[in-house]
């Protein structure tokens, strides 16, 4: 018997559950296990799981590097702290609102895209998120964290840092290449383990985060002369940009949103497992708010306190840790930094990359094969090339925001204002062997494509036209907002016509 939309109804948890029989029917249409809606027995993530899910994704090395850049935008340290906390609320809103479709219908990101762009139209935005953005970011995260692993190995075995002599592999020495390969392999292994391994991993990680980063912040306050001295700190005048306070707040919010653009787009891959809408809503909001409050204070205190203590400007947390004399303390801090990066890489990069590869080639690639393929690509693109200068990570984040902001804007507009939070699962999981021209999800949603492309082009202009550099600094906000408005206007016009 065919699956009918009228057979589905909201349960007490504000979600629509499909039976195993209905899922089996969808499977007969050619969809692999990773693309099917979750049945009730598989939707087992409570608010506690969501609370721990993102905690480890905040305290990573690139995020600390970004805060070092924030200190030169013209705001005082206390304003930077407030801006980061405000950013966490913006990220939480993004994750909760864009995650509602996954929580309600149990569908993954790839099917959420199909409900927005059409079964053929979903391939390009899926490729941008799951292949281009996720794999590139996966490789870059691996490389930045491998620098921490290199410090750790060097502290334990100093001779390791001289291995290979003048050996150079496209810009990286042998010790760096070995450290990168080891950390890359660990991340791929975690990705292969999937959500079950990730939940156990984050349960171990999160208590350590509180201990290590709060401890580092206390150390920084002590050696930095107290909280008042840290909050009164100002970088050299000649190195500080002359921006209005309101603009800097938006620049910081944009940067933090750009960091989360990938997970924000594909959050349905995680919310599809929610026990209820409340679980994903409360869990994600609490997770991001608590994590970013700790991060806002610890990052500013550690970077400024360390700079005051050592008498030089140290805007890289690894350089500060590397100056410590106590090997056990160095080992503990670096291990936690490595673990947070693994958590970030798994939830935000390798998992969605694998799912998208499976969605692009459903008959040839499943989730585990997708992990392997994504991992191999992330290695051969030589991500150390993306970090050859200090501005690289900010340029990369602005590009990610410009690419994914428009996609997210269209997704939100479609689900909440066009579809009115309703998705026809029977039509969504169409039989590709039949005539589907009357199916609402068939083909390409042209207004969605037009809105996405226009917003993407506009938000990228700042990268190529110096006079429009401000657009680049607000790429996510500009792209998301513009695509949202354009799409609704185009849909209204198409209905009127």
Residue 10's pLDDT band, with cuts at 50, 70 and 90, is low
Residue 82 has what pLDDT?
A: 97
pLDDT at residue 101 tops 90 = yes
Q: Is residue 290 part of a domain?
A: yes
> In angstroms, rounded to a whole number, what is the distance separating the alpha carbons of residues 446 and 136?
28
> In angstroms, rounded to a whole number, what is the distance separating the alpha carbons of residues 60 and 81?
17
pLDDT at residue 14 tops 80 = no
> In angstroms, rounded to a whole number, what is the distance separating the alpha carbons of residues 158 and 151?
9
Following DSSP, what letter does each residue of 378-407 receive, concatenated? HHHT-GGGGGSSTTHHHHHHHHHHHHHHHH
- Spell out the long-range contacts of 232-236 with Cβ–Cβ below 8 A and sequence spacing 24 or more: 233/77, 233/304, 233/307, 233/308, 234/76, 235/71, 235/72, 235/313
Q: Which CATH number do you get for residue 176?
A: 1.10.4160.10
Higher model confidence: residue 385 or residue 178?
Answer: 178
Higher model confidence: residue 195 or residue 290?
Answer: 290
CA-angle at 106, arms to 100 and 107, nearest 5°: 90
> In angstroms, rounded to a whole number, what is the distance separating the alpha carbons of residues 448 and 368?
31
Highest mean pLDDT among 323-337, 424-438, 472-486: 472-486
Residue 5's pLDDT band, with cuts at 50, 70 and 90, is very low
Contact status, residue 3 vs residue 429, Cβ threshold 8 Å: yes
- Tokens 């006079």 correspond to 467
Q: Is residue 377 part of a domain?
A: yes
pLDDT at residue 315 tops 90 = no
Provide the token pair at 197: 């391994």
Average pLDDT value for residue range 363-375 = 88
Higher model confidence: residue 429 or residue 463?
Answer: 429
Q: At what angle do helices 446-460 and 475-496 cross, to 10 degrees?
A: 150
Residue 299's pLDDT band, with cuts at 50, 70 and 90, is very high
Question: For the ranges 4-13, 46-55, 302-311, 438-447, which has the lowest average pLDDT?
Answer: 4-13
Higher model confidence: residue 156 or residue 462?
Answer: 156
- Tokens 């919010």 correspond to 253
Question: For the ranges 36-50, 234-248, 451-465, which has the lowest average pLDDT?
Answer: 234-248
Residue 12's pLDDT band, with cuts at 50, 70 and 90, is low
CA-angle at 417, arms to 415 and 422, nearest 5°: 45
Residue 151 has what pLDDT?
A: 92
Q: What digits encode the pLDDT tens for the residues 204-247?
A: 666 777 788 899 999 999 999 999 999 999 887 666 777 889 99
Q: Is residue 445 part of a domain?
A: no
Question: For the ranges 97-101, 310-314, 373-377, which has the lowest average pLDDT?
Answer: 310-314
pLDDT at residue 186 tops 50 = yes
Contact status, residue 109 vs residue 122, Cβ threshold 8 Å: no
Q: What is the average pLDDT value for the chain, to the nearest integer?
A: 87
pLDDT at residue 391 tops 70 = no
Query: Where in the sequence is the domain holding 159, given as residue range(s)?
Result: 48-402
User: How many domains, in total, are found in the chain?
Assistant: 1
Q: Is residue 447 part of a domain?
A: no
User: What residues have CB less than 8 Å from 198, skipping those under 6 apart?
Assistant: 53, 190, 343, 346, 347, 351
Residue 1 has what pLDDT?
A: 33
pLDDT > 90 fraction of the chain, expressed in percent and rounded: 49
Higher model confidence: residue 79 or residue 385?
Answer: 79
> In angstroms, rounded to a whole number, what is the distance separating the alpha carbons of residues 159 and 154?
7
Q: What digits encode the pLDDT tens for the residues 188-204?
A: 988 887 655 655 666 66
Average pLDDT value for residue range 172-183 = 95
Residue 388's pLDDT band, with cuts at 50, 70 and 90, is low
Question: For the ranges 206-220, 356-370, 450-464, which has the lowest average pLDDT?
Answer: 356-370
Residue 229 has what pLDDT?
A: 95
Residue 126 has what pLDDT?
A: 86
Residue 365 has what pLDDT?
A: 85
Q: Is residue 7 part of a domain?
A: no
Residue 308 has what pLDDT?
A: 92
Residue 106's pLDDT band, with cuts at 50, 70 and 90, is very high
- Of the candidates 54, 52, 56, the residue with the CA atom closest to the CA atom of residue 336: 56
> In angstroms, rounded to a whole number, what is the distance separating the alpha carbons of residues 265 and 148?
29
pLDDT at residue 390 tops 70 = no
């Amino acid at each position: 018997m065919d699956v009918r939309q009228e057979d589905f109804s909201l349960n007490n948890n504000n979600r629509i559950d499909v039976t195993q029989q209905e899922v089996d029917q969808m499977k007969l249409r050619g969809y692999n296990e990773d693309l099917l809606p979750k049945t009730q027995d598989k939707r087992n993530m409570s608010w506690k799981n969501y609370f721990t899910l993102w905690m480890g994704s905040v305290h990573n090395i690139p995020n600390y590097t970004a805060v070092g850049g924030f200190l030169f935008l013209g705001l005082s340290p206390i304003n930077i702290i407030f801006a980061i906390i405000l950013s966490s609320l913006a990220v939480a809103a993004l994750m909760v609102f864009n995650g509602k479709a996954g929580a309600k219908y149990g569908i993954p990101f790839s099917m959420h895209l199909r409900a927005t762009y059409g079964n053929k139209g979903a391939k390009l935005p899926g490729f941008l998120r799951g292949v281009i953005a996720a794999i590139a970011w996966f490789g870059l995260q691996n490389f930045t964290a491998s620098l921490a692993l290199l410090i750790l190995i060097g502290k334990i075995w100093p001779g390791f840092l001289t291995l290979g002599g003048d050996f150079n592999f496209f810009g990286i020495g042998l010790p760096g290449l070995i450290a990168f390969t080891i950390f890359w392999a660990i991340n791929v292994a975690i990705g292969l383990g999937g959500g079950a391994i990730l939940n156990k991993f984050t349960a171990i990680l999160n208590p350590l985060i509180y201990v290590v980063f709060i401890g580092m912040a206390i150390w920084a306050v002590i050696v930095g002369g107290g909280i008042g001295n840290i909050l009164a700190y100002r970088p050299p005048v000649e190195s500080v940009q002359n921006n209005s306070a309101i603009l800097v707040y938006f620049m910081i919010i944009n940067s933090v949103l750009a960091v989360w653009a990938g997970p924000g787009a594909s959050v349905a891959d995680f919310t599809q497992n929610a026990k209820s809408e409340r679980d994903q809503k409360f869990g994600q909001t609490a997770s991001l708010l608590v994590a970013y409050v700790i991060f806002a204070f610890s990052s500013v205190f550690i970077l400024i306190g360390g700079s005051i203590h050592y008498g030089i400007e140290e805007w890289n947390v690894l350089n500060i840790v590397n100056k410590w004399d106590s090997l056990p303390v160095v080992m503990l801090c670096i291990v936690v930094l490595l673990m947070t990066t693994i958590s970030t890489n798994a939830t935000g990069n390798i998992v969605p990359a694998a799912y998208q590869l499976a969605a692009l080639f459903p008959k040839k690639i499943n989730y585990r094969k997708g992990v392997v393929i994504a991992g191999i690509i992330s290695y051969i693109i030589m991500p150390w090339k993306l970090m050859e200068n200090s501005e690289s990570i900010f340029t990369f984040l602005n590009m990610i925001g410009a690419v994914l902001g428009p996609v997210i804007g269209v997704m939100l507009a479609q689900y909440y204002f066009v579809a009115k939070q309703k998705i026809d699962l029977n039509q969504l999981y169409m039989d590709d062997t039949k005539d589907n021209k009357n199916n609402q999800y068939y083909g390409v949603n042209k207004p969605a494509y037009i809105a996405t492309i226009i917003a993407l082009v506009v938000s990228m202009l700042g990268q190529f036209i110096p006079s429009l550099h401000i657009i680049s600094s607000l790429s996510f906000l500009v792209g998301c907002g513009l695509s949202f408005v354009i799409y609704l206007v185009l849909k209204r016009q198409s209905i009127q016509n």
